[in-house]
Amino acid sequence: MLRLHDTATGAVAPIASRDPGAVGLYVCGPTVYGPPHVGHGRFVLVYDVLRRYLERSGYVVRHVSNVTDIDDKIIARAAAEGRDWTDVAAESEEQWWAAMDAMGVLRPTEVPHATDYVGEMADLVSDLVARGVAYETSDGVYLSCDAVEGYGLLAHQCLDSLRAGARVAVADEKRSPVDFALWKKAKPDEPTWPSPFGPGRPGWHTECVVMSLALLGDGFDLHGGGLDLVFPHHENERAQAVATGRAFARHWVHNGLVMVGGEKMSKSLGNVTDLAELVAGADPRAYRLLVLRAHYRSPLEVSPATLDDAASALARVDELARRIGRVERDAGVRGTPEAVGNVSEVGAAERAKFAEAMDDDLGTPRALAGLLGAVRRANVLLDGGDPAGGLTLARAALELLAVLGLEPRAAEQASDEVLGIIHRRDAARAGRDFAAADSLRAELEERGWIVEDGPAGTQVRR
């Protein structure tokens, strides 16, 4: 069973799901005001792999990830560019999905948009005011954090120390610097929605608590996001649920941040790397592999060298996939390799090692190292003339890499005619007729194939 670190308790604990056999996962999605950067790519890949692994483990996963399509940053960019805010949000969301599709990320089962839930958000704010835990000021409605039992649970800080660390704005009408806006009253030239407190728009923290509970229900299983969201965003989501007496997430998962050149990547440092650019510039699977090589809670260093290294590992995976295709074709003539010896145990052992690593707080670095090791060992077995053992190991490795979303690139199948040329070339080489072998190689290259001589004879790839 999968055990995950829980930010609330600070301990690694089994996922005890609310409904047997099912997991509800809420992941804070993007605020769509610009193109995604590599930090976004990391969190999406982490939760994509968590979901894939839960599904592999037999759970039905309801994966909800929101789109914040109304926000200060969207309004600011629209105003700066003289555009409609909906236009900025729609364009940015399109860029988001294009990058996610390029990385082979599974679409969440639901993608709620904040603007579709504004009525429910206003209802929650009214409820909090009625309960006496929220109050109105001239510019909005705020939650009184003092009134919330256990505020500071995720931050692992008491209210006093949070209050001491909070920024106090000039002429702030808030009763405490940690109190946060549930509803922002209308300002000139901003989009607004009606509410009992006058026209305005919801605060960001109110969006996620409403959408997660609306779609996953009280006491849903997993709430995830980047480490930078623990406080105040997730603390404040939780505070609203607690204040209305509703059970919130049972387990909190947070992923580490992306570092560039040893520093946290951030807009203010100017070291933000565009995700679409990164994916377009290399094998799009390379970033996924790089992300999985680091434990999800650790910082991740992204550099051209680490990406190149990831791409080389993938090239070896692709080559093994092509190689087993050839071995299987040969085996078709000679009989099924599984019939030879007791090789199925090899696959079972690989699967057990993989599950052990993954179950231990989503240990992708160990799981991945094991699988890439299996790729090497499979090649050794195939080189050594043990096609049955090599094939079994290779198939298990490729099957498990696919669980991580690292499928080998589909190799183009050589036609019978091309296979005929390969066969004639191997025969020519065996008969030491190198002139004929060279001319057959030229024939293959003319047809667009890259020709390599391996231990098993002529190998072709596009």
CB of 269 to Zn ion, least distance (A): 23
Side-chain-side CA neighbours of residue 447 (13 Å):
17
Residue 374 lies near Zn ion (rule: CB under 5 A): no
What is the spatial distance between Cα 107 and Cα 269, in angstroms, rounded to a whole number?
31
CB of 102 to Zn ion, least distance (A): 24
Looking at the Cβ atoms of 232 and 363, the one nearer to Zn ion is 232
Q: Are 172 and 253 in contact (CB under 8 A)?
A: no
CB of 204 to Zn ion, least distance (A): 7
Amino acid in position 414: A
Binding mask 51-70 for Zn ion (x = CB under 5 A): --------------------
The token pair that represents 260 in the structure block:
């560039």
Binding mask 205-244 for Zn ion (x = CB under 5 A): ---x------------------------------------
Count the residues of the shown chain that bind Zn ion, applying the rule CB under 5 A: 2
Looking at the Cβ atoms of 28 and 324, the one nearer to Zn ion is 28
Looking at the Cβ atoms of 208 and 437, the one nearer to Zn ion is 208
Looking at the Cβ atoms of 219 and 284, the one nearer to Zn ion is 219
What is the spatial distance between Cα 243 and Cα 144, in angstroms, rounded to a whole number?
10
CB of 191 to Zn ion, least distance (A): 20
Q: Are 183 and 202 in contact (CB under 8 A)?
A: yes
What sign does the CA torsion over 8, 29, 55, 306 have? Answer: negative
Looking at the Cβ atoms of 237 and 350, the one nearer to Zn ion is 237
- 411: exposed, middle or buried (C-beta count within 10 Å: 0-12, 13-18, 19+)? middle
Side-chain-side CA neighbours of residue 380 (13 Å):
6
Could you tell me which of 143, 137, 173 has the C-alpha nearest to residue 159?
143
Looking at the Cβ atoms of 28 and 241, the one nearer to Zn ion is 28
**How wide is the angle at C-alpha 133 spanned by C-alphas 132 and 135, nearest 5°?**
80
Looking at the Cβ atoms of 112 and 389, the one nearer to Zn ion is 112
CB of 238 to Zn ion, least distance (A): 11
What is the spatial distance between Cα 432 and Cα 24, in angstroms, rounded to a whole number?
64
CB of 122 to Zn ion, least distance (A): 18
Binding to Zn ion (CB under 5 A): which residues in 12-51?
28
Binding mask 189-208 for Zn ion (x = CB under 5 A): -------------------x
Q: Which residues bind Zn ion (CB under 5 A)?
A: 28, 208
